Structure 1
Amino acid sequence: MLNHPTLDQLNTLGLQGMAKAFSELIADPEAAGLQHGEWLAMLLDRETVYRQDKRMAARLRYAKLRHQAAPEDIDYRAARGLDRQFVQELLKGNWIDGHENLIISGPTGVGKSWLSCALAHKACRDNRSVLYVRAPKLFDELALAHGDGTFARRSKNLGTVQLLIMDDWGLEPLTAQGRHDLLEILEDRYGRRSTVVTSQVPVAEWHGLIGHATYADAILDRLVHNAHRIELSGDSLRRPKPRPKA
């Protein structure tokens, strides 16, 4: 079948959602009974959905989330101290609008990273920019960036993204350069953007982990004092469940 002139125009204008809907409508005999206003409403609706989906896909690609975690899949049944009402409030995103932070702590395997990615996924849905990084890898990359001249660009990206997820914080002590870099990142974000930190190390031990009293005071002041906290507990969710006895 030859292309309809209107279809050509829609594609030329970059209205791919409307073009696809138009192709489906002209191929559907039942669509002949629709009024002009109904046709237009359907075309506009499909274009809106197409653009929303495209933006969402772009945000998720940029975020590079560790887990494909959706907020609807958060497990509140496992005994790990997760408060449903509090998490539902976090999912609304008001704390991100208020440029507040979030600390998720607890032993390995209780779902800290997964929960942070679920919150980040919801932020992407809400048209917010998100970036996920693992703290050990981040500091290695920043050390290399100092040498190849890309630190300023990398630091800018970390400073301007609306929600930064810093996963697995505290697995190893910070170097002198790492302390300085972290302080600069948090200084750029403080009062302007929100940061999520997940850690196996209790917050009370972070001061010693940073390894320099002056830096530790400055870093924790910018990270902890305005942070919401989720303290998870319990057994690792990764452990295989025992099979029921026959």
Structure 2
Amino acid sequence: MSSVTNDTPQLLLAHHLKSLRLLTFLREYDKVAKQCASEGVDHTRYLLRLTELELIDRERRMVERRIKGAKFPTIKSLDSFDFKAMPSLNKMQLMELARCDFISRQENIIAVGNSGTGKSHIAIGLGLAACQKGLSVGFITASALVHELLEARDEKRLLRLQKQLAKYSLLIIDELGYVPLSPTGAELLFEVFSQRYERGSTIVTSNLPFDEWTSTFGSERLTGALLDRLTHHVHILEMNGDSFRLKQSAQSKET
């Protein structure tokens, strides 16, 4: 009977901490109590240690949720990018952009260059940095986005999708220009850019220089209006050079 009585406070504490969703607190309180007792730490500092652990773990879980919600195709940080292989890329400029102040200013980034030069890597790295800063991020290829927009239009849920896309602090649209768009698809994609103009930041990667974007959108008028909005507040990353993928393929054949 005494054993049950002695266990009751621990059971109640565990129940209350779960209800409050203080899961790190629940996992660590006994271990930290023993550490503090051996170090002669008072109860205030004991609680401080526990709350710090809870906050650190909660922030980690929130970052993980933001990264998962962004739907990156792979996880690549800027630290793993080979800047020596891409001398045309301004590393100082990129490190400044990684602070994510451009997002609070609703500025855009366009990474332009040959296929395989790491544009997606840079976009994902900046997206990860934004997730770590507590910002909402979405990642999608241009062709997949147009497909989703067309599907949403046919299913009478286009407005809901447009609102969702407009809510992201940072929207990354990868591989613009790889596939020509239908007139309807081009107009729907233009609407996405227009709705985010001076309201949210967008990163676009493209293998085409600006003067060839008409081949993707099929209309000089639409392309001009798009570039007018997209480049009003923009940071351009020029990434022309040899393809990383071709280099890696050649190296693997040599070995």
- In the alignment, is residue 93 of structure 1 matched against residue 100 of structure 2? yes
Find out whether 1:242 has 2:224 as its counterpart: no
Return the offset for 1:31.
4.6
Q: AA paired with 1:171?
A: Y
Question: Bigger shift: 163-172 or 23-32?
Answer: 23-32
1:229 aligns with 2:205: no
The Cα RMSD (Å) is 2.3
Does the residue aligned with 1:238 lie in a helix, a strand or coil?
helix
Q: Residue 113 of structure 1: which of 106, 115, 120 is its match?
A: 120
Structure 1 window deviating more from structure 2 (33-42 vs 190-199): it is 33-42
Give the Cα–Cα distance (whole angstroms) in 1 for the partners of residues 35 and 197 of structure 2: 55
Name which of 190, 193, 201 aligns with 2:200. 193
Q: Equivalent of 1:83, from 90, 100, 104?
A: 90
Q: Are 1:13 and 2:11 counterparts?
A: no
* Closer, same or farther: CA 31–185 of 1 in aligned 2, 3 Å: farther
The one-letter amino acid paired with 1:11 is K
The SS at the match of 2:117 is: coil
| 1:109, distance to aligned residue in structure 2 (A) | 1.0
Match of 2:138 among 131, 135, 150: 131
Identity of aligned residues (%): 30
Q: Please, what TM-score do these two structures have when normalized by structure 1?
A: 0.91
The number of aligned residues is 246
Q: Please list every run of 5 or more consecutive structure 1 residues that lacks an aligned counterpart in the other structure.
A: none
The one-letter code matched in structure 2 to 1:57 is E
Alpha-carbon distance between aligned partners in 2 of 1:244 and 1:152, rounded to the nearest angstrom:
50
- Secondary structure (helix, strand or coil) at the match of 1:231 reads strand
Superposition TM-score, scaled by structure 2 size: 0.88
Q: Deviations over 1:85-121 (max 9, x none)?
A: 1111101111111101100011111100011000000
Shift of 1:26: 4.2
> Could you say what secondary structure the match of 1:185 adopts?
helix
Unaligned runs of at least 5 residues, structure 2 = none
2:163 matched to which residue of 1?
Answer: 156
**1:168-216 alpha-carbon deviations (Å, 9 max, x no partner):** 0011222111121122111110011010000111122113432112222
Shifted more, 124-133 versus 14-23: the winner is: 14-23
Residue of structure 1 in register with 2:227 after alignment: 220
Greater mean alpha carbon deviation, residues 177-186 or residues 101-110: 177-186
CA distance in 2, matches of 1:209, 1:64: 25
Q: Indicate conservation of the 8 Å contact 1:111/1:237, yes or no.
A: yes
- Which range moves more in the overlay, 187-196 or 136-145? 136-145
Q: Distance in 2 between matches of 1:89 and 1:233?
A: 20
Is 2:73 aligned against 1:66?
yes
Greater CA radius of gyration, 1 or 2?
2
In the other structure, the counterpart of 1:48 is 55
Alpha carbons of structure 1 residues 244 and 209: separation in structure 2 relative to 1, 3 Å: closer
Match for residue 152 of structure 2? 145
Residues 80, 236 of structure 1: CA spacing in aligned structure 2 closer, same or farther, 3 A cutoff?
Answer: farther
What is the CA distance between 1:150 and its match in structure 2?
2.1
CA–CA distance in 1 between the matches of 2:15 and 2:35? 19
Shift of 1:7: 3.6
CA distance in 2, matches of 1:245, 1:93: 40
Indicate conservation of the 8 Å contact 2:171/2:202, yes or no.
yes
- Post-superposition offset of 1:14: 1.4
AA at the equivalent of 2:59? Q
